[in-house]
């Protein structure tokens, strides 16, 4: 790939006109990266038609319409009573004289809106039309334009998955600028590269929802290339692994620690844990480095399995690094592992971005000297200045949250260390071979004894009141409740309303309610979560968006309420549900669904009410997964493909896998591996 193009793709979004550091930081969270490339790989999920409707009577309530209106009168809102908001209402008429009301709830921009809608003028507005108080009403229109600027309203508007208050207009602006600049960057590029970016352009400027289905030509093309990149990475990684055969450090056993581990465990291992540990031990004794993925449902006890591997490594005096996706999870792992390590007699430490100054230096010295045998941490573990004396084993928890590159940066700190990856998302067997072709797989399909299955029920939104009264006595008895609300992407101005509204409502009923969402900064978020997790704290309800971390352990949490559950995919719901049921007490999950739940949505909820088995759910998920319909795909725990649809692109998996195995890996494939961030460094 030409350097100029590569530089452009790597450019920070903050340098795009109209973006800047604040929005770039939000893009970073929403896109999972802040480069032009990250934006390009984040594609619209739907097309909203904004073609013009002349008469409001011709439209269907609930639809988005674009309509010319004559502004008749203004009635300003404000607050009354106890801070309740009264909308600002602007009365208009359409061509036929039918009255249409435009209303705004947030009064802080009042002057601005009134100026945009002067009395006596025709304006073209676009937004969702609803019946309210017996009159057709549009709340917070997405567009308000003078008649001669009607073309500023896109006829087919691409709707991007968003969040954190990033508006569709911001997305459109960034997209437009990128695609204006792109042709120049592509000068002299080869045909493959051109074809690739041409496909991207089609997908970012879709003309109808058909252009965004997995079967559409351009999506299918991109999906194939994406799969090819991943499959090529697997092939390279496997080759590399074979190359190091016999070059592996042989580490004689110096200490006898495994028996001590058995003594230090506060419980009996399950059969599945024992089997997995044996598989791991056999790998560690073999002459090629271990590459093993342990799949086991939330709560199946993967941490102990990881500890066993670390202890085995420590028998030779070598070190283990356990990589966790967040500070909170690292702290939790450390809190659990440290006492057991103390009993066994190996030094266990934690290293995260929070460690600074002298304390951090001391930790680094202990790592460099080899004294620390097990270090738990976040990406701080592979910072440049972190050195290990003999890193023999890398464990990656919630491995789908890390790119292959990150995993390999950590492995590069040792001499071909063993790799153990942990994943809470079971993947159907039919897929795991193609997805994780370079790994051996162990499955923990058994929960610790005495664990009661989570009682799961579904409930229509209208009955949330009953739910609150049912929960109240439980809370008085000390139960902890997760209350999850999805981010609502639909109305741009109000993607916080669901969670905020619920928080406000619950606060009037219960004393100690916590709130976490994506717009809080990480520290604040972590602090609230820690407080909720703390047994002694009074906080017994945590209202949250899906930012509540995968894998967070609050053993006393016994109830989880998931609002608008129909908007989540099966895997995401299963993972959310896994946040309860971690102790001995009976746990409950309540799936609250909205009025317009689809038949598919209902089917998904039924699957969850019927089974607790992650593998069954994964199979169902694969069968039922609808594209574009679901929120929380980032939470789903599957490999986060940008274009690939697990269900619809099964044949592409096979094609790409065959191509990667049979053909020379050429420059274009290497470019693809770079574009899709799949470990060209690891392989090359």
Secondary structure class of 381 (helix, strand, coil): helix
What is the Cα–Cα distance from 10 to 66, expressed in whole angstroms? 37
| Piece of 227-235, 297-305, 322-330, 492-500 that binds ligand ADP (CB under 6 A) | 297-305
The secondary structure of residue 666, as a DSSP letter, is -
Question: Is residue 33 a contact residue for ligand ADP (CB under 6 A)?
Answer: no
Phi, psi dihedral angles at 416 (to 5 degrees): 45, 55
Binding mask 470-509 for ligand ADP (x = CB under 6 A): ----------------------------------------
By the 10 Å C-beta count (0-12 exposed, 13-18 middle, 19+ buried), 535 is classed as exposed
CB of 306 to Mg ion, least distance (A): 8
The residue with tokens 């036929």 is: 96
**Buried residues in 98-134 as b, exposed as e (16+ CB within 10 A):** eebbbbbeebeeeeebbebbeeeeebbbbbbbeeeee
Looking at beta carbons only, is 417 or 551 nearer to Mg ion? 551
| Contact indicator for 465, 502 with CB cutoff of 8 Å | no
User: Looking at 221, 582, 625, 634, which residue binds ligand ADP (CB under 6 A)?
Assistant: 582
Whether the CB-CB separation of 162 and 489 falls below 8 Å is answered with yes
The smaller minimum CB distance to ligand ADP, of residues 36 and 550, is found at 550
Residue 299's binding partner out of Mg ion, ligand ADP, none, with CB under 5 to 8 Å set by partner kind:
ligand ADP
What is the distance of C-alpha 264 from the center of its chain?
35
The reply on whether position 612 binds ligand ADP by CB under 6 A is: no
Judged by CB under 6 A, which stretch of 117-125, 139-147, 292-300, 479-487 contacts ligand ADP?
A: 292-300
> Is residue 637 at the binding interface for ligand ADP, with CB under 6 A as the rule?
no
Please report how close the Cβ of residue 293 comes to ligand ADP at its closest, in angstroms.
13
Cα–Cα dist 198/190, whole Å: 12
Q: Could you say whether residue 267 binds ligand ADP (CB under 6 A)?
A: yes
Among the listed residues 302, 360, 480, 574, the single contact to ligand ADP using CB under 6 A: 302
Q: Which stretch binds Mg ion (CB under 5 A): 136-144, 309-317, 550-558, 610-618?
A: 550-558
Determine, following the binding rule CB under 5 A, whether residue 325 of this chain makes contact with Mg ion.
no
C-alpha span between 131 and 112 (Å, rounded): 25
Binding flag, residue 551, Mg ion (CB under 5 A)? yes
Host H or E run for residue 295: strand 291-296
154 is an interface residue for ligand ADP by CB under 6 A:
no
Interface characters, 112-131, with Mg ion (x: CB under 5 A) = --------------------
Minimum CB separation of residue 329 from Mg ion in Å reads 7
Asked if 556 touches ligand ADP (CB under 6 A), the answer is no
Write out the two tokens for 364. 């680094």
Shorter beta-carbon distance to Mg ion: residue 514 or 551: 551
Stretch that binds ligand ADP, among 132-140, 300-308, 604-612, 643-651 (CB under 6 A): 300-308
Q: Which residues contact 586 (CB under 8 A, 6 or more apart)?
A: 452, 455, 558
Region 428-457 residues binding ligand ADP, contact defined as CB under 6 A: 448
Beta strands in 551-654 (DSSP E): 557-562, 588-593
Region of 20-28, 191-199, 238-246, 301-309 interacting with ligand ADP (CB under 6 A): 301-309
Does 578 participate in binding Mg ion (rule CB under 5 A)?
Answer: no
Report in angstroms how near the CB of residue 557 gets to ligand ADP at its nearest.
12
Q: Contacts with ligand ADP: how many residues (CB under 6 A)?
A: 18
In whole angstroms, the minimum distance from the beta carbon of 633 to ligand ADP comes to: 21
Residue nearest to Mg ion (CB): 551
Binding flag, residue 270, ligand ADP (CB under 6 A): yes
- What distance in Å separates the CA atoms of residue 400 and residue 536, rounded to the nearest whole number? 33
CA neighbours closer than 13 Å in the CB half-sphere of residue 474: 20
542 vs 539: CA distance, rounded Å: 7
User: Which range touches Mg ion (CB under 5 A), out of 185-193, 381-389, 464-472, 546-554?
Assistant: 546-554
Task: Pick one of ligand ADP, Mg ion, none as the site partner of residue 269 (Cβ within 5 to 8 A by kind).
Answer: ligand ADP
Q: Which of 273, 326, 423, 519 binds ligand ADP (CB under 6 A)?
A: 273
- How would DSSP label each residue in 114-135? HHHS-TT-EEEEEEEEEEETTE
DSSP-derived letter for residue 31 is: I
Report which of 532, 537, 536, 575 is spatially closest to residue 557, judged by C-alpha positions.
532
Q: Minimal distance in Å, beta carbon 78 to ligand ADP? A: 50
Tokens matching residue 8 = 């452009």
Minimal CA–CA distance to 299: which of 457, 446, 421, 420?
Answer: 446
Nearer residue to Mg ion within complex by CB, 305 or 665: 305
Nearer to ligand ADP, 236 or 589 (CB): 589
Q: If we measure between CA atoms, which residue out of 590, 535, 539 comes closest to residue 565?
A: 590
Contact footprint for Mg ion (CB under 5 A): 551
* Interaction site with ligand ADP (CB under 6 A): 267-270, 273, 296, 298-304, 424, 448, 551, 553, 582
């Amino acid at each position: 790939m030409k350097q100029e193009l590569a530089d452009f793709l790597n450019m920070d979004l903050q340098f795009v006109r109209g973006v800047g550091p604040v929005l770039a930081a939000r893009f970073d969270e929403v896109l999972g990266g802040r480069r032009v490339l990250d934006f390009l790989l984040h594609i619209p999920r739907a097309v909203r038609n904004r073609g013009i409707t002349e008469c409001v009577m011709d439209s269907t309530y609930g639809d988005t319409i674009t309509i010319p209106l004559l502004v008749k009168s203004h009635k300003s809102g404000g607050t009354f009573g106890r801070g309740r908001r009264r909308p600002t209402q602007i009365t208009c008429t359409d061509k036929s004289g039918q009255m249409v009301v435009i209303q705004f709830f947030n009064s802080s921009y009042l002057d601005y809106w009134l100026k945009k809608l002067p009395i006596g003028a025709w304006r073209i507005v676009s937004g969702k039309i609803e019946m309210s108080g017996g009159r057709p009403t549009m709340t917070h229109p997405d567009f308000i334009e003078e008649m001669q600027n009607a073309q500023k309203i896109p006829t087919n508007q691409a709707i991007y998955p968003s969040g954190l208050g990033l508006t569709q207009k911001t997305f459109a602006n960034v997209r437009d600028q990128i695609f204006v600049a792109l042709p120049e960057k592509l000068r002299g590029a080869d045909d493959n590269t051109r074809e690739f970016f041409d496909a991207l352009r089609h997908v970012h400027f879709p003309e109808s929802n058909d252009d965004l289905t997995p079967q559409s030509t351009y999506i299918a093309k991109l999906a194939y290339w994406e799969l090819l990149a991943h499959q090529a990475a697997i092939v390279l990684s496997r080759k590399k692994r074979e190359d190091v055969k016999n070059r592996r450090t042989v580490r004689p056993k110096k200490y006898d620690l495994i028996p001590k581990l058995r003594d230090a465990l506060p419980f009996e291992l399950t059969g599945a844990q024992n089997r997995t540990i044996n598989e791991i031990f056999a790998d560690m004794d073999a002459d090629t480095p271990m590459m093993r993925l342990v799949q086991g449902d939330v709560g199946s006890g993967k941490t102990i399995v990881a500890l066993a591997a670390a202890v085995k490594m420590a028998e030779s005096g070598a070190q283990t690094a356990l990589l966790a996706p967040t500070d909170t999870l690292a702290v939790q792992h450390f809190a659990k592992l440290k006492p057991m390590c103390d009993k066994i007699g190996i030094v266990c430490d934690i290293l995260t971005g929070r460690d600074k100054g002298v304390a951090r230096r001391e930790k680094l010295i202990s790592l460099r000297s080899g004294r620390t045998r097990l270090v738990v941490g976040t990406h701080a573990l592979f910072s440049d200045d972190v050195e290990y004396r003999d890193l023999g084993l890398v464990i990656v928890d919630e491995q789908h949250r890390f790119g292959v590159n990150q995993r390999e940066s950590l492995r590069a700190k040792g001499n071909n260390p063993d790799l153990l990856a942990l994943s809470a998302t079971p993947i159907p067997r039919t897929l795991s071979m193609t997805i994780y072709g370079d790994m051996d797989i162990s499955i923990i399909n058994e929960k610790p004894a005495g664990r009661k299955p989570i009682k799961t029920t579904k409930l229509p939104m209208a009955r949330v009141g009953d739910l609150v009264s049912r929960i109240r006595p439980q809370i008085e008895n000390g139960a902890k409740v997760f209350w999850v609300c999805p981010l609502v992407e639909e109305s741009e101005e109000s993607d916080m309303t669901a969670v905020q509204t619920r928080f406000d409502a619950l606060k009037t009923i219960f004393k100690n309610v916590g709130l976490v969402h994506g717009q809080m900064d990480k520290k604040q978020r972590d602090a609230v979560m820690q407080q909720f997790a703390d047994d002694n704290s009074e906080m017994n309800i945590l209202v949250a968006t899906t930012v509540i971390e995968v894998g967070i352990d609050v053993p006393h949490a016994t109830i989880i309420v998931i609002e608008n559950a129909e908007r989540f995919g099966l895997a995401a719901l299963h993972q959310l549900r896994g946040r309860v049921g971690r102790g001995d007490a009976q746990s409950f999950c309540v799936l609250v669904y909205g009025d317009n739940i689809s038949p598919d949505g209902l089917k998904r909820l039924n699957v969850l009410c019927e089974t607790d088995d992650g593998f069954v759910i994964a199979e169902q998920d694969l069968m039922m997964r609808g594209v574009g319909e679901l929120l929380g795909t980032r939470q789903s725990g599957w490999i986060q493909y940008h274009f690939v649809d697990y269900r619809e692109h099964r044949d592409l998996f096979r094609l790409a896998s065959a191509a990667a195995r049979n053909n020379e890996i050429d420059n274009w494939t290497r470019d693809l591996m770079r574009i899709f961030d799949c470990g060209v460094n690891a392989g090359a």
